Amino acid sequence: MAHPDDREFVTARAYARLKGEDVPSSYEFRLITRQGEVKWIEYNASVTDWQGEKAVIGTAFDITSHKESEEVLRKSEERFRMVMQHMPNLANAFDEDGNIVFWNNACERVTGYTAEEVVGNPEAMRWMYPDDDYRKEVWEAAQDPANANNEATLISKSGKKRIINWADTYHKIKFRAGLPGGSEKMLRIGGRPKPSVASSLTLPMQ
């Protein structure tokens, strides 16, 4: 029996398919077993003739374990994102084009730019690194795992120079926690911000 919260949806899909409407042939919903357990299934349906009338024929696959794993992963990623957001270290992430996709509270404090101002804004890096050649140099150095121990000077929103001392530790990890898109991300984790220097760690995402 379909779960009460999904029953209307499942019924509507079945009637629409019988009417010849264009509806997805495969979809997911919950069932309640005879023992009262909630199970997720992937249902694949098509229309056929049965004793002179149209009927829906379908196959179902139990995907409960997969759904449970997804939920565990989602919660884990959300916890990770919250840690990254509120840690005293700078933490930001970039997509492969150099656009900022994550900007934590420490980044806001050090640079003066809020996440709303820089995330997804292709001009953000230009604000902090206005010189074209220097900005390119900083970006290339950040992507090079062999380029340990380097410094970069950014311009904060107030116009003050802030020196970032990049650490020499590189790791390949996957950072999915709520970031948009499915492309690779480069994550930077920085040290505690100081009045004039912020020590940082660069983690290229893969």
User: What are the tens digits of pLDDT across the range 30-39?
Assistant: 999 999 999 9
- Please indicate whether the domains covering 4-66 and 83-203 agree at the CATH topology level: yes
Q: What is the mean pLDDT of residues 108-125?
A: 95
Confidence of residue 200 (pLDDT cuts 50, 70, 90): very low
**Spatial separation of the C-alpha atoms in residues 166 and 202, rounded to whole Å:** 7
CATH of region 83-203: 3.30.450.20
Q: Give the residue ranges of DSSP H helices in 87-148.
A: 105-111, 115-118, 124-128, 132-143
Which of these CATH numbers, 2.30.30.110, 3.30.450.20, 3.20.20.80, 2.40.30.260, describes 4-66? 3.30.450.20
Other beta carbons within 10 Å of 178: 15
Q: Mean of the pLDDT values across residues 161-174?
A: 58
* DSSP, res 173: B
Per-domain residue ranges of the chain: 4-66, 83-203
CA atoms lying within 13 Å on the CB side of residue 87: 17
**pTM of the full structure:** 0.60
**Per-residue pLDDT band at 112 (split at 50, 70, 90):** very high
Q: Cβ neighbours of residue 2 under 8 Å, at least 6 residues apart?
A: 10, 11, 29, 30, 31, 32
Read off the pLDDT of residues 82-94 as tens digits, 9 standing for 90 and up: 888 998 877 788 7
Q: Is 17:47 a contact under the CB 8 Å cutoff? A: yes
